[in-house]
Amino acid sequence: MAVMMAIMMGLLLLFVGIVIDTNWSAIGLTELQVASDHAARASLIHYATNVDEPDRDRRLDDAAIMGKAVFEANTVGGKSRPVSVEVIDFGRAFTDGDGNPVFNVGARPYNSARAQVSLETDSTSISSFFGNLHGVEEFSPATTAVASIERVDVVLALDVSRSMNFVVGGHDTFPPGGTLVSAPVAGARWFDMLDESKIFLEKFARNNAMARIGLVTFGGGLPSAVEPGFANTKSRQEFPLGPTRDTQKFNDLLQRYSGGPLGLGTSLSDAVYDAIANFEGPLGDPEANRVMVLLSDGQQWFADQIDTLDTPETAALVARDKGIKIHCIYYSGPPTGGDDLYNLASLTGGEFFNAANGAELNAAMDRITKLLPIKLVQ
């Protein structure tokens, strides 16, 4: 009887040990997956947002080091597990015909980072509690995580109304009243906007291989003297959505305004509607994230015809219903002049930036280039 009881107690202990270590192994695998997910995302974000480093190989090395550091900052099986930077790969992720995610390592332009981790060595494997009973003294879980930048269409909307001619920080009396200025004065906010728009385009092209960009300009529509050849409309679709890497064509369009803004009147709502039309045009991608970046120095204004326009809030609700997020930059206008832009951003889930000078405008544009839609695809 005593022998039977001893055998039963041994079997029970073995069973309990197997259950505990099986659950411990499952917990370790879950923690490994979480750590790998964080590492893949951190690597991709670091690579995609480190746009000030022109050396691509250096960016890749730095991003892999970041991924390794983030992985080791997580605990797996109760402690940090050392890994090599070689567990991080970069390439392109896509979905095959059956809807399965596929990662093509080394394929360019990069849109994804992969963390492929296997805890096989003595320093990384997870020790079991009852290995001396069931014979499995350590576990060596392995997993793969792939983070991918999602497709994103961006429409940049620039204010080309004549109030942009005034000096940065100056609170002019136009509109209404004041003297009509037909060309930018020295130090005008206009020059900062053009320069930062070009920098934005270059950075955006580098940090998101899945991005396309379009251009809308707004400012005009009121009966006024305008430059020859200028379409006096409230808003214009200048450039349909296309690959951002076609930077020369985009810059050529901006160069059209090198002499200064031309329009009289500011219709933010029409700019939003033109952006929507751009997103939904023949080149639009219904599956892409849709983001509008709007830069202006003031409120919606259309003299005594203001009642002919939809309010910015009305346009924002239309954009929101279509899944469009609007980031707004209020640049160098009067202290209380950014309410319309704030409402556009807040109603659509975007961010609002109040930039008083060129440095703050640069910081705002730089921040927007780093608002990347990234997801875990594997």
Average pLDDT, the chain: 80
Burial class (CB in 10 A: 0-12, 13-18, 19+), 174: middle
Fold classified for 152-373: Rossmann fold (3.40.50)
| Domain ranges within the chain, ordered by starting residue | 2-149, 152-373
pLDDT in tens, 208-258: 666 788 888 887 654 544 444 445 567 777 777 765 656 677 777 777 766
Which is more confident, 148 or 252? 148
Type of residue found at 52: D
Judge residue 214's burial from the number of C-beta atoms within 10 Å of its C-beta, 0-12 exposed, 13-18 middle, 19 or more buried: buried
Q: Which residues pair with 215 in a beta bridge?
A: 156, 239
Question: How far is 294 from 146, CA to CA, in rounded Å?
Answer: 32
pLDDT score for 170? 54
- Over the stretch 288-347, which tens digit does the pLDDT of each residue have? 889 999 998 877 776 556 676 788 899 999 999 999 999 999 987 666 678 889 999 999
Q: Residue 329 and residue 191: Cα distance in Å, rounded?
A: 15
Q: Report pTM.
A: 0.69
SS3 133: helix
